[in-house]
Chains A and B, each alone.
Chain A
Amino acid sequence: MSQIENKEFTGPSNLSALDRRDFMKYMGLFSSMTLLSSCSQKADHIVPYAKEVAEFSEKNYEFYQTAFSDHGFAQGISVKSFQGRPIKIDGNPLHPYSLGATTPEAQATLYELYHPERVQDIKWKGKTLSRAAFTEELQKEMAQWGTGEGVVIFYRPDHSPTQIDLIQNLLKRYPRLHVLSISKWKQTSTALFDLDQADLVVSFDEDLFFQRPDALLHSRTFMGRRVEAIRSNQAQHLNRLEVYESSPTLLGAKADHTEILRPEEIWNDACDLLELMRGKSVSNPRMLRLKSLMEGKKTHVSVARHLSPEAQDLEMALNSTTDYRNVKHELPQTDEFSQIQTLVSQGKIHTIISLGENPFEEDLELKKVPLKISLSQFLTKTLALSDVQVGEAHFLETWGDLKAVNGDISIIQPLINPLYKTLSVLEFLMVMTRDSSRPLELLKKKYSAPWSEALQTGLIRSQEKLNPSPNGNKSFTKKSPTQNLILKIAADPSVGFGEHSDNPVLQELPKNFSKLTWQNAFHLSLETAKSLKIQDGDKIKISNGKATATGPVKILPGMASNLILATLGYGEDYGSFIKKKRGYSLKNFQEGDPIEVKKDLGSGKLAMTQETLFTPGQEPVKTSPFPIPAFTPKKPQPSLYPGHPLPHQDQGPQWGMTIDLTSCIGCQACVVSCQVENNIPFVGEEQVEKGRILHWLRIDTYRVNENTFFQPVPCMHCEKAPCEVVCPVNATVHGNGGLNEMIYNRCVGTRYCSNNCPYKVRKFNFGAYSTLKSPWNMGFNPEVSIRDRGVMEKCTYCIQKIKEGEHTGKAVTTACQNVCPTKAIEFGNIRDPGAQVSINKATSLNYDLLEEEGAVPRTSYLKVVRL
């Protein structure tokens, strides 16, 4: 398997011309090759079954439970593998921080595994080494370390107990070693609380639904309770959400009441709330209102960490009455990064080892460090400037373990033999600790008892006692409110802090509110932009006195005044062709920096998938009051024409879908899941800019009267489909299950169907988009056709899954439905009155998008219920 490069063997062209000497040479070569291959290190093999095993005979793919590192914590996933290749990732329903859902990042990780520009071997000062030679070299080097003085190890802050053990072992052996991690997503303490118990959820600028290791759990529990209350019309069970935010968040979009405030105002409000709770009198109308709402309600309050270094303490104090717990997760750390910087400039560091980190992106006087060793999956500045460059294995290729936020442990198990000569962080640390066993043995030793169960369920329940946080009486200092133009720094909604910047699928995933792809921009409110005389797309240069950054402006409704939101994850000079030289970097900028703006630098491009959030005169997202009115079946619209019944409508299931817009939080996991399941290629920045993104499912985002709405739009599978009538060659037709089917082979590419589709869900292969660089195509789903240049394509309701359901008799679920953290998408047989989709359609909340077009869509929406 490791011989992935399938180089053709070219023997001597004319065998009969072999003389005796040549013959002996070849024989010698072949026999030495045979011998050499048999004396290599004992390896773990992942081999296909030679004989068919009964349990796998009905389908030819398998599922394995493993874990994805979501900001260092485990997100349980279940990986579908076809003939030894992982091809799709779904959530692990048993895992408490997945509950069957996944984040877009976990879905898209296959595009990192099969990335053509991964670091593929071990290079020691320019020389390619085998793993054994590398082990020898490194251990020779380490023999001179003594107490470890002058050696720095940067490691990725994953909460892997085995990894931490190994680092502790290293520290024991080399007590003066410097160990630290500097990833911006590092988290050493997390809050534990049950949102389904909270009657009122208050957030001070914190997005509980997004980019947190517990985001999936929070989305599920909060929305689960809300939807249950709505469906049963129980007002007392309905939870309330109050959000105070400085820039748009997914949580704020779902709030019953949102206040847009500057960060320091939010901090002061949170401090005021604490004073009110402690019985002091405060003249803050916002907090007085909130306090009155909190009466008699079980309330959870969260405070964003970026507001102040004391934010966590304030959060603890504000939640002192509930079962809120704050849990510390230890990660070994001997120094702060600034100390390392000083040591390096003093010339006291002789070796830097970076394990999956990128410290050289920061200011370090590297000339004074003689030996730099870097382990990395992709080219980074650190890797490029290192003397020893080691390729890092993807987590789907390795053994490991990872802790969830609540302490539960998941075993990371490999699904594929390493594609390249790479090492995992764990293996690297094992080389350093002179542990000659294999990671598998190490893990088996640690988790001996529940081993096979742990692999099957993907979970080892934590026995750790999690203590409630101390109930302190600490008081907090308020900040003086200003109206200066200041900077807010956030992770990029798609590529995060940069850890996913090499992933093309995430690069092309439209950012939740700005709908930008492949780049970052500066976001400000319309009023601020007007006062600065800046328009959408204008290039600006921001400066804080120490550094500058240049990029285009994208105005966002819902931003606080005089606040510039800038996102991380871009602007690096090193990286694969996906990451390199995109957007601006925020190096040397700090949260809250006062900012000066230089404008008139021309205009920059904005590769957006949606130009405006406003929809004057239209109501694509409908709202309903609470309690919801009783259901009255819709009367058919009068028509002069006789209805034309669908063929075979009396036979077999009729497929339909409902999407609950109350519970859709706009996280876009469904978009990526659809993309991976259906082999939808990414098209690149230039093509997105030209309006040729291929996503079959998009999230339309609207802003109506200060409220934000998300609306996932797949193909509607209209019963009277406008696309079918205009196709000149019968390439799009109606199937028995009521599906609007697309026959790729028959399509000649007139694109008339797209013109006639009111929803514009049809996507066209303007170029040869599906010709991805090898080995990205290894991740393609073998059950879905690859679409050629010049062919129309669109959502098929995952017809391959429907067919599989027909064969196996199991319930059919679509890819988008599977990963939805809030279960907003329901799919099923609308002829079966007991199916959830039929129940949903028989409520007063059900409505059709663009009903006036008379296309009778099978996909319908459930109105947003507003209090």
Chain B
Amino acid sequence: MNIDQRLSVLGEERSSFLFKLLFPIAGLLTLLSVAIFVLLKYGVEVWGINVPVAWGFAIVNFVWWIGIGHAGTFISAILLLVRQDWRNSINRVAESMTLFAVASAGLFPLLHMGRPWYAYWLFPYPNDMTLMPQYRSPLVWDAFAVSTYLLVSLIFWYVGLVPDFAVAREQTQSKFKRTLFGVLSLGFSGEVKEWASFKKASTYFAIIATPLVISVHTVVSLDFTAAQTPGWHSPLFPPFFVTGAIYSGFAMVLCLLILIRHRFQLKDIITEHHLESCAKFLLMSGVIVTFFYVIEFFMAWYGDEFYESKIFINRMFGKKNWAFWLMLICNSFFIQILWFPRLRKKEVVLFIVSLIVLVGMWMERYVIVISSLMDTHLMTTQGNYVATRWDWMLYIGTFGIFFFGIWLVLRFLPFIPITEVKELDHK
């Protein structure tokens, strides 16, 4: 079996296994639908948010999902430009992950609104009252940044898929798929001219996507930085958020890769080298994130500003200090074992560390969003936050979107980039 044959029918070969996976995914999607229905029926009062903690799980989850998306773009765009060829075999999984993570993320700011049916007011659209969004608000920048990101990610992902669709078109036995892939491959026939155009397009989109890796999470972080709220108002946030995003993104990539590699017996295509490279990125971003934690506390101390210091003291010893310590242990402690080359080649170790990092990064957003809001300027307005079952249901439900997307890719698309792996093989 040549590579073409092998890689284009991976999903079909394991269709019964994948079919079984549909049940838990359907469960998650049901959970999501119920959570959304209840939310729209009764309003955001079903959540745990209040005044002063007016942003809760929705924003935590939004930032977390968006962050996860980042590793995909990072792998497919930046590593392409810097010619890290090892990325080739994993970039499709990473990109798909980006796409569905951003889709999951995008749900939250929408549902988070008091009146989500007016969400389009955040975009400039022609109307008879000549009303425009208020451009000084970071939320407007956010709306632009996230929608751009989703669009570019989608196009980039699709462009990369075109030659693979062509291969799949040739390899598949099913008539329906042949037609479908025929349309999707845009008539790609493998001529040299077409290959040249493809290469060029990939590079261009990589160039467009690269700044997005930095800009999207920078803009997301500006939601916090631009606010006057203590605990948020920090110029450290853009690099801090971007690194954090890559950190959690690589953790998610590793989790997915390890599962796929294991289940689809792709140890020769997704090699230890791939895992180790990802692990190195994980370690690097983890160390930088830890550094930022230290700097945050240093600045709070060095800045000697009353409210800022109060917040950082309360992070360690206040009402929600468990969130802070959990975050620190998950993000800065366990990651250190990846300094040992032997350990970072071990699937099990990497899988567990990645899961811990994902929890840790979620806690980081929880600490930033919720514990900062709880600590207000005036002692009389101090708040508290208790997430309700609808908060949890919506969060868990979005895994349904994410995994269903990944499932579709695994089942129907060549999720290991055939052409690029072949290219690597030739080299």
Binding site for B on A (CB under 8 A): 610-612, 614-618, 620, 687, 690-692, 698, 700-702, 713, 722, 725-730, 746-752, 754-756, 758-760, 762-768, 788-792, 850, 853
A611 to B113, CA, bound (A): 28
Q: Do B43 and A764 touch (CB < 8 A)?
A: no
Q: Which of A615, A755, A759 contacts B379 (CB under 8 A)?
A: A615
30 pairs, CB–CB < 8 Å, chain A vs chain B? A713-B380, A722-B228, A726-B138, A726-B227, A729-B131, A730-B131, A730-B133, A730-B134, A748-B114, A748-B121, A749-B114, A750-B139, A752-B137, A755-B54, A755-B373, A756-B227, A756-B229, A758-B377, A760-B376, A760-B377, A764-B54, A766-B43, A766-B44, A767-B44, A788-B115, A790-B114, A791-B114, A792-B114, A850-B377, A853-B377
Q: Do B376 and A690 touch (CB < 8 A)?
A: no
Q: Which of A612, A615, A726, A762 contacts B51 (CB under 8 A)?
A: A762
Of all chain A residues, the one with the shortest Cβ separation from B138 is A726
Q: Do A748 and B115 touch (CB < 8 A)?
A: yes
Given contacts A700-B378, A748-B118, A764-B114, contact A726 B43 (CB under 8 A): no
14 more CB-based (< 8 A) A-B contacts, given A690-B48, A755-B227: A614-B379, A615-B378, A618-B306, A691-B51, A713-B378, A726-B226, A728-B137, A729-B121, A746-B131, A749-B115, A750-B114, A756-B227, A767-B44, A788-B115
A610 to B384, CA, bound (A): 11
Interface flag for B136 (CB, 8 Å): yes
Given contacts A726-B227, A749-B115, A765-B114, contact A701 B133 (CB under 8 A): no
Chain B residue numbers with a CB within 8 Å of A752 are: 54-55, 137, 139, 223, 227
A725 to B222, CA, bound (A): 13
A748 to B52, CA, bound (A): 18
A610 to B138, CA, bound (A): 31
Q: Which B residues between 80 and 131 are near A, CB-CB below 8 angstroms?
A: 112-116, 118-119, 121-122, 131
Interface flag for B15 (CB, 8 Å): no
A612 to B375, CA, bound (A): 13
Chain A residue numbers with a CB within 8 Å of B54 are: 751-752, 754-755, 764
Chain B residue numbers with a CB within 8 Å of A762 are: 51
A788 to B117, CA, bound (A): 13
Given contacts A751-B55, A754-B54, contact A766 B131 (CB under 8 A): no
The listed residue with most A CB atoms (<10 A of its CB), out of B112, B113, B383, B384, is: B113
A755 to B54, CA, bound (A): 6
A691 to B112, CA, bound (A): 18
Interface flag for B191 (CB, 8 Å): no
Q: Which of B122, B131, B226, B377 contacts A759 (CB under 8 A)?
A: B377
Interface flag for B425 (CB, 8 Å): no
Q: Do A747 and B114 touch (CB < 8 A)?
A: yes
A403 to B53, CA, bound (A): 49
Of all chain B residues, the one with the shortest Cβ separation from A711 is B380
Q: Do A760 and B133 touch (CB < 8 A)?
A: no
Chain B residue numbers with a CB within 8 Å of A700 are: 378, 380
Binding site for A on B (CB under 8 A): 42-45, 47-55, 112-116, 118-119, 121-122, 131-134, 136-140, 143, 223, 226-229, 232, 306, 310, 373, 376-384, 386
User: Chain B contact residues: over half helix, strand or loop, or mixed?
Assistant: loop
CB distance from A712 to the nearest CB of B (A): 11
Q: Do B306 and A747 touch (CB < 8 A)?
A: no
A789 to B45, CA, bound (A): 9
Of all chain A residues, the one with the shortest Cβ separation from B139 is A728
Q: Which are the 10 A-B pairs with shortest beta-carbon distances?
A: A749-B114, A790-B114, A691-B50, A767-B45, A751-B54, A766-B45, A728-B139, A760-B381, A700-B380, A790-B115
A765 to B136, CA, bound (A): 25
CB distance from A104 to the nearest CB of B (A): 19
Q: Do B53 and A691 touch (CB < 8 A)?
A: yes
Chain B residue numbers with a CB within 8 Å of A687 are: 45
A569 to B46, CA, bound (A): 31
Q: Do B50 and A766 touch (CB < 8 A)?
A: yes
Q: Do B51 and A692 touch (CB < 8 A)?
A: yes
A725 to B233, CA, bound (A): 14
Chain B residue numbers with a CB within 8 Å of A698 are: 380
CB distance from A829 to the nearest CB of B (A): 28
Q: Do A692 and B376 touch (CB < 8 A)?
A: no
CB distance from B222 to the nearest CB of A (A): 11
Chain A residue numbers with a CB within 8 Å of B116 are: 748
Q: Which of A727, A750, A758 contacts B228 (CB under 8 A)?
A: A758
The listed residue with most A CB atoms (<10 A of its CB), out of B52, B131, B379, is: B379
A765 to B377, CA, bound (A): 22
CB distance from A731 to the nearest CB of B (A): 8
Q: Do A702 and B133 touch (CB < 8 A)?
A: no
Q: Do B50 and A692 touch (CB < 8 A)?
A: yes
Q: Do A728 and B133 touch (CB < 8 A)?
A: yes
Chain B residue numbers with a CB within 8 Å of A760 are: 51-52, 376-378, 381
Of all chain B residues, the one with the shortest Cβ separation from A699 is B380
Chain B residue numbers with a CB within 8 Å of A713 are: 378, 380
A445 to B42, CA, bound (A): 57
A837 to B135, CA, bound (A): 35
Q: Do B380 and A702 touch (CB < 8 A)?
A: yes
A768 to B44, CA, bound (A): 10
CB distance from A456 to the nearest CB of B (A): 43
Given contacts A728-B122, A760-B378, contact A691 B45 (CB under 8 A): no
Chain A residue numbers with a CB within 8 Å of B115 are: 747-749, 788-791
Q: Do B52 and A756 touch (CB < 8 A)?
A: no
Of all chain A residues, the one with the shortest Cβ separation from B134 is A730
Chain A residue numbers with a CB within 8 Å of B137 are: 725-728, 752
Chain A residue numbers with a CB within 8 Å of B118 are: 729, 748
Chain B residue numbers with a CB within 8 Å of A789 are: 43, 114-115
Q: Do B113 and A691 touch (CB < 8 A)?
A: no
The listed residue with most B CB atoms (<10 A of its CB), out of A611, A691, A730, is: A691
A692 to B49, CA, bound (A): 9
Given contacts A754-B52, A764-B54, A766-B45, contact A617 B306 (CB under 8 A): yes
A726 to B133, CA, bound (A): 11
Given contacts A620-B378, A747-B114, contact A728 B143 (CB under 8 A): yes
Chain B residue numbers with a CB within 8 Å of A748 are: 113-116, 118-119, 121-122
Q: Which of A612, A729, A790 contacts B122 (CB under 8 A)?
A: A729
A749 to B114, CA, bound (A): 4
A797 to B404, CA, bound (A): 52
Q: Do A763 and B377 touch (CB < 8 A)?
A: no
Given contacts A691-B53, A702-B380, contact A750 B113 (CB under 8 A): yes
CB distance from A701 to the nearest CB of B (A): 7
CB distance from B370 to the nearest CB of A (A): 11
CB distance from A567 to the nearest CB of B (A): 22
Chain B residue numbers with a CB within 8 Å of A751 are: 49, 54-55, 114
Chain B residue numbers with a CB within 8 Å of A692 are: 45, 50-51
Chain A residue numbers with a CB within 8 Å of B377 are: 758-760, 850, 853
